[in-house]
Amino acid sequence: MKLLHVDASAREDGSHSRALSAFFVSELSQRCSELSVDRLDLVKQTPRHFGAMEAAAVSISATEHTPEMREAIADSDALAERVLRSDVIVIGTPIYNFGMPSTLKAFFDHISRNGLTFVADANGMKGLLGDKKVAVLSAAGGGYGVGEPFFGLDSLTPHTAAILGFLGVTEIDFISARPMMFASVEAADAAMKAAKLEAEALARKWT
């Protein structure tokens, strides 16, 4: 099983989402001796935000690319290839300002490529990643459930589900530890413990 492990938290130390995604990958590793992990840390390998040259390149056929376009789109090609090589994708991410970090949005911009991860033609649009499983493990400072301070403000989950669904992914699991910051130590510990139990169950399901 080839796994692409993506982490998006800006915090390298003390990150709850990094701890949760690492725990899940560890659980998978213990259950699958043939697991191969491709690690993508969006802090250390930060994707560029799309500029004019990248936008121009993805709007036309690769056969029409100028040398400048090929250079501009090289990183995007490489990221898309890493996604295509994977069997499963694990994403660890915090919620920043009710949504995904800008680095994760840039990652999705790079891998959403007509002709590579989806096809748009006269017959309509079709995602090409339907054979992949994806787990999104997130952590948030506040609570987003009914009656909690940030109820209704979680845009990370629907946004991520929409992008992956467009790319054809049908098996997406979301596991979240929250609240972590705006909570007592006991409540934060309980939230992480509950999330890890979900992660253990999902690891058993995947393997």
**What phi, psi does 196 have (nearest 5°)?**
-65, -35
Domain extent for 122: 2-206
Domain total of the chain: 1
Question: What is the value of pTM for the model shown?
Answer: 0.95
Q: What is the pLDDT along the chain (207 residues), one digit of tens a residue?
A: 999 999 999 999 999 999 999 999 999 999 999 999 999 999 999 999 988 999 999 888 888 999 999 999 999 999 999 999 999 999 999 999 999 999 999 999 999 999 999 999 888 999 999 999 999 999 999 999 999 989 999 999 999 999 999 999 999 999 999 999 988 999 999 999 999 999 999 999 999
How far CA 75 is from CA of 11, 80, 112, 168, in Å, comes to: 23, 9, 13, 22
The CA-based dihedral angle spanning residues 11, 15, 21, 22, taken in that order and rounded to the nearest 10 degrees:
90
Numbered residues of the known binding site for FMN: 9, 15-17
The pLDDT value recorded for residue 61 is 85
Secondary structure (3-state) at 122: coil
Instruction: Name 106's Cβ contacts closer than 8 Å, sequence gap at least 6.
Output: 42, 46, 47, 48, 49, 50
Residue 98 region by backbone torsions, left for phi larger than 0, else alpha for psi between -120 and 50, else beta: left
How far CA 170 is from CA of 90, 125, 128, in Å, comes to: 15, 15, 11
Measured distance CA(110)–CA(73) in Å, rounded = 9
- Which CATH number covers residue 122? 3.40.50.360
Numbered residues of the known binding site: 9, 15-17
Secondary structure (3-state) at 80: helix
